[in-house]
Amino acid sequence: MINSVLQSQIFVLDQDQALDFYVNKLGFEVAEDIDFGFMRWLTVHPAGQPDRKVLLERPGPPALDEQTAAQVRDLLTKGAMGGWLLFTTDDAQATHDELVARGVEIADGPNRQPYGIDFGVRDPFGNRIRIGQLAELSRPLTAEDFAAQS
Amino acid sequence: MSTRQDAIEDQNRRMLRARDAMDRTYAEPLDIPALARIAHVSESHFIRAFAATFHETPHRYLQRRRVERAMYLLRNTDRPVTEICFQVGFSSLGTFSRTFTAIVGETPTAHRRRGPIAPVPGCFVMAWTRPSATDRTAGSDRAIEQFRISSRPEPRRRFKS
């Protein structure tokens, strides 16, 4: 049966700008960058994890007609596209500080949560990215844990 | 790509940036000049552009954010209603109760009786349980019901530290 997540997809307005953000700011590596002429297949992955790739797709023809692409771009820039990526880190505060130093826009946090420490970032287009340092848990969390936290 | 569409997308991003700021600092007074600076527009343009982008005014958005946080605290803590009112940024209990009831469709105390919200990441709680701007009672009630059903209490156990 199905046994892993291999690739995810998000929309980006500009693939060069996306490359700069995901590689130079977030420290990702390029998995594939293939120019088909009519479209560019661009995937990245966190350093050291080549088996979890993210496709950075530009909305537009031929996959989407111009009008639909415009709607996607509108939703994306309002933060209303589905694109939501959650990444882990060993040290949320250090990662946060490093990203701030690189000029990354922090949407919120770092916040201490029952499941660890996390913070939110927007990519240049409005996609929501969450970066978490996850606590080691011996059991599933309950509402009580969250109540104790707030 | 038309220049007009570029301008709309650019404005969307600037309004989203300001909305993120409101989500971060919801307990502070609504500071239109500061938000307009984040969005790089004039104050009067900010209110118009925000409303055009998200279909509600910044003031209304902030109210719903505060009410959502209050809903969470009412259900997941045993703090007094007055304390929660001030904690989420209201400065008068009367305004809080009136606004809460108008948006949620029930009083803070009645809402508290619904019990704790299911344990899911905070950012999703903030997004999903924020009362609907348009479909006031129906939308909120459905969300509230979903969260309640999935949040059956589990036996109390201690965190491993």
Q: Above 80 in pLDDT, residue A68? A: yes
Query: Does the CB of A122 have a partner CB in chain B at under 8 Å?
Result: yes
Confidence (pLDDT) at B120: 67
List of chain B residues whose C-beta atoms are within 8 Å of the C-beta of residue A105: 17
- Cβ–Cβ < 8 Å for B43, B36: yes
Which residue in the set A77, A140, A150 is minimally distant from B13, CB to CB? A77
* Best residue of A87, A112, A133, A146 to probe chain B, by most B CBs closer than 10 Å: A146
The ipTM value here is: 0.85
List of chain A residues whose C-beta atoms are within 8 Å of the C-beta of residue B133: none
Model confidence at B161, in pLDDT bands (50, 70, 90)? very low
Between CA A114 and CA A125 the distance in angstroms is 30
Q: What is the pLDDT of residues A80-97, one digit of tens each?
A: 987 788 999 999 999 999
In the structure encoding, which two tokens stand for residue A31, read together?
A: 């998995």
pTM: 0.82
Between CA A37 and CA A137 the distance in angstroms is 48
* Best residue of A74, A77, A88, A145 to probe chain B, by most B CBs closer than 10 Å: A77
Between CA A121 and CA B64 the distance in angstroms is 22
Q: What is the pLDDT of residues B56-108, one digit of tens each?
A: 999 999 999 999 999 999 998 999 999 999 999 999 999 999 999 999 999 99
